[in-house]
Amino acid sequence: MKVVMIFDQTQAGLGGKENPMLPLGGKNMVIGSANMLDPYLKKNDMQIAACLYCGDGFFEANKEEVTKKMAAMCKKIGADAVLCGPAFNYEGYGEMCAHVGEFIEQHVGIPTVAAMSKECASTIEAFKDKVNIIDMPKKGGIGLTESLSAMCELAKMKVDGVDTTAFVEAHCY
C-alpha cells in the first residue's frame, strides 16, 4: 500500500521556525520524521512512496496553489492513502494538514488522515467534521507512539473500506 506524507519544514528535516518560507517540494523516499512511523507503517503493510513538504509560511501565503499541487501530486503518484502530520502543536502546520487533507479526500478521493494536538484548536474546530484528525500530544507530550500507530491504522481501515466509526470516536476529535 503506497502512502504519501505531508510535512512542514521541521518534520521534513529542512529547518525550524526560522525557515517558514521553504517552497513546496517533495522527495520520493523516506525523509525527516517519517522514520518515526516506520514500525507502524510496516505493521499495516504500508510503504512511503513520497514525502511532500512545504514551509508553513509559504503555505499560508500560497494556500490554494499549494493545496491543489499537493493533491494533484498525490494522484499522479497513485497514493493509496495520505498522512498529513504529525503536526504536534505547530499551528501553521496543523492548518496545512487539515486543509490539504480535506481537499485531497474530497476532490481526489484518496483516504486521508491528519494528526495534531488540541493546541491547534481553531483548525480542529473548523475541520474535524470534514477530515479525520487524530488526537495527538503536543511537542514533548505523552502518547506519541499511540497516536502515530492510530494514524497508520485508521488510514489502513479507510483504504480497506472497513467501518471506522468506533475507531474514529476513540482516536479522533
Binding site for other proteins (CB under 8 A): 10-19, 24-33, 35-36, 38, 50, 52, 68-69, 71-73, 75-76, 88, 107-108, 137, 139-145, 148
Q: What is the DSSP letter of 172?
A: B
Q: How far is the CB of 168 from other proteins (least distance, A)?
A: 23
Q: Which is nearer to other proteins, 26 or 101 (CB)?
A: 26
Q: What CA–CA distance (Å, rounded) separates 97 from 142? A: 21
Contact yes or no for 24/70 (Cβ under 8 A): yes
Q: 129 forms bridges with which residues in the sheet?
A: none
Q: How far is the CB of 150 from other proteins (least distance, A)?
A: 14
Q: Which is nearer to other proteins, 1 or 30 (CB)?
A: 30
Residue located via cell numbers 480535506: 102
Q: How far is the CB of 91 from other proteins (least distance, A)?
A: 15
Q: Which is nearer to other proteins, 99 or 164 (CB)?
A: 99
Q: Which is nearer to other proteins, 149 or 167 (CB)?
A: 149
Q: What CA–CA distance (Å, rounded) separates 21 from 93? A: 12
* Identity of the residue numbered 7: F
Report helix, strand or coil for 87. Answer: coil
Q: Which is nearer to other proteins, 117 or 164 (CB)?
A: 117
Q: How far is the CB of 124 from other proteins (least distance, A)?
A: 20
Q: Report the relative pairing of strands 25-27 and 112-116 from DSSP bridges.
A: unpaired
Q: How far is the CB of 101 from other proteins (least distance, A)?
A: 15
Measured CA distances, 117 to 16, 58, 122, 126 (Å):
18, 22, 11, 14
